[in-house]
Amino acid sequence: MANDSATDAAAAARLARFGKLPERVQFQEMVEEKKAAPSGAEIVSYNAEGSWNHFSCLALDLGL
């Protein structure tokens, strides 16, 4: 009987210190869905007049 009361006291101490385990997190709560956009389509569009300043060309550098 002394052993049972010691076990109950230890269990009560653990419960008081640690409480209970947190609830499980559902998979649906861990996943976030976003609509995908084509890569770079909204950010950068082609500009024919301004494209010359993004590339180095030896002929342009020499003025040919």
pLDDT in tens, 24-49: 989 988 888 888 766 655 556 677 77
Q: For position 43, what pLDDT does the model report?
A: 58
pTM of the model as a whole: 0.28
CA distance 3 to 10: 11
Burial class (CB in 10 A: 0-12, 13-18, 19+), 46: exposed
Mean pLDDT of all residues in the chain? 76
* DSSP code of residue 56: -
Q: For position 53, what pLDDT does the model report?
A: 63
Comparing 44 with 13, which gets the higher pLDDT? 13
